[in-house]
Structure 1
């Protein structure tokens, strides 16, 4: 129930932003639109701080990080490729006919900004800890603010029948199937975790604020830590894929982003893929955000 309450909060903030758009004072809307492009980096700094603090509380952190990195890489690639194949079978072509050196360069610069934000959060957390203090940052509250800003932005975005296009459902389907395939492949590399648990971990779809809690409660802290790190890594990989090739393969990049496509990585979708693919991100992210707590809970309980 806690997971559904979290999703409900996200949707309420999104709806509030959408409804209040064009009703707020113009100066406030202007400030919101000025803030939105930079809010991603604030989120990344906060995520890095939480990530750093988590590392200090778990046993065998490097083994956990290794398992999480392998699983995150394989599930992210699996989601990307599976979605690509699905749309390729339907005759969809890449969004651009040729590689743009300018866009690639811009993507690399944007990635560097993201990693600078992560590095800054890590250094900040370690510095404060070394002085005997602890930073108390709740990324969830930042996400709620971000969803409100996205709601404002969507109110000014052109909405059409693409929101109801059944083909959009292939984006989350690609993520689900690709994540499963990634779990099967990872089973050949990770011997200490059962296939059932790897499948469970793969179905978090980047919803790290939920999976770590659910898996820890229903399984154990070791798997819960892997779940948290796995989904954090999936989020980082989603950022990399979005900036690197999201402009050319937007649907596949959104699929690899999993549940984060409707919140944390949504500004990357807007920036790298364009407003035309915001419906794909919102629909896919919503479906996966609803499925993740249900599927993970069931797989953890059996």
Structure 2
């Protein structure tokens, strides 16, 4: 029943048992993970280029992405402000501003990688049948490295459990994203379990796009990538605008990226009080992405 899920999930589990104390090795693993993400996203672009009726399929990717983005954002913003009312706290006043446009450009680099794969795939005359198998093997290696990163993130179970706001934010994000995913699936007339899988990316655009592409094909992989990348870009815009009035809402919508990419923005604009909440919330959501995506994928293929 869960053999396919365990086959893909096992490298993540194995990697989590590796405790790496040497900073040099950790830096090498972090760099290798970044490079592998670029490689797989480039291969995703090649896969999209190999689709029949490419023009219409790109339109389908855009439609799927827009529907999921709209419903999940609607559900997130419907419930996250409740946390700010029930567990209020004030973000620190900080006038320092980061170059948000520069960070947005860093995110857009990934779009360029996928786009390059599409263009090269269209222009080159050779068969692309090797892409799928190559992506699967690289995915297994990537999950192994991600497991190591999660183990060595510096957070203990006690630290996670004791941070009530971060844990509640993560739980609310998960449930509201799933509700949005179900509504999107009903609107698009796709299986509910597939909608739940698609809505379990929680902002981790690189991994979610890769997992969905491996499970459902390049159209869904491309859609998942765009959905979660859009979440990060919207979060970068919202953090300076809302974090002083709705800190929990802002951190929650940042999703898994609150632990890494958007964390410097949260810290510099919201202050140090926001950091533990963002790290715990982002860590939990990052851990949940492969677990729930692979679970729903496995259930949907029964």
User: Does TM-score exceed 0.5, indicating one fold?
Assistant: yes
Match of 1:102 among 97, 115, 128: 97
CA contact (8 A) 2:16 2:148 kept: yes
The Cα of 1:61 is off from its aligned counterpart by 0.6
The Cα shift of 1:78 comes to 3.3
Unaligned residue ranges in structure 2 (runs of 5+)? 202-207, 268-274
Could you say which residue in structure 2 is the equivalent of 1:164?
Answer: 161
- What's the offset of the Cα at 1:50? 0.9
Secondary structure at the counterpart of residue 116 of structure 1:
helix
User: In structure 1, how many angstroms separate the alpha carbons of the residues matched to 2:67 and 2:172?
Assistant: 19
**What is the 5 A alignment of 1:1-302?**
1=2, 2-16=4-18, 19-21=19-21, 24=22, 29-30=23-24, 32-33=26-27, 36=30, 40=34, 43-44=37-38, 46-59=40-53, 60-78=56-74, 80-82=76-78, 84-93=80-89, 95-97=91-93, 100=95, 102-103=97-98, 106-123=99-116, 126-127=119-120, 130-132=123-125, 136=131, 138=135, 140=139, 141-149=141-149, 151-152=151-152, 154=153, 157=154, 159=156, 161-165=158-162, 167=165, 168-181=167-180, 183-184=182-183, 190=187, 193-194=188-189, 197=191, 200-204=194-198, 205-206=200-201, 207-214=208-215, 216=216, 226-245=219-238, 248=243, 252=249, 255-256=252-253, 261=256, 267-273=260-266, 276=276, 277-298=278-299
- In the alignment, structure 1 segments of 5+ residues that lack a partner are 217-223
Count, aligned residues = 270
Q: Deviations over 1:71-127 (max 9, x none)?
A: 2312441354145224223233464546x5722xx2221110221343144225533
Is the contact between residue 47 and residue 218 of structure 2 (CA under 8 Å) also seen in structure 1?
no
Q: 1 CA distance for matches of 2:45 and 2:111?
A: 10
Q: Please give the per-residue CA displacement for 1:43-94, whole angstroms capped at 9, x wherever unaligned.
A: 2463244134224325431332132221231244135414522422323346
Conserved in 1, the CA contact under 8 Å of 2:43 and 2:117?
yes
Is the CA contact 1:111–1:240 (under 8 Å) kept in the aligned structure 2? Answer: yes
Greater shift in the superposed pair: 64-73 or 274-283: 274-283
Question: What SS does the corresponding residue of 1:102 show, helix, strand or coil?
Answer: coil
TM-score by length of 1: 0.68
State the superposition RMSD in angstroms: 4.0
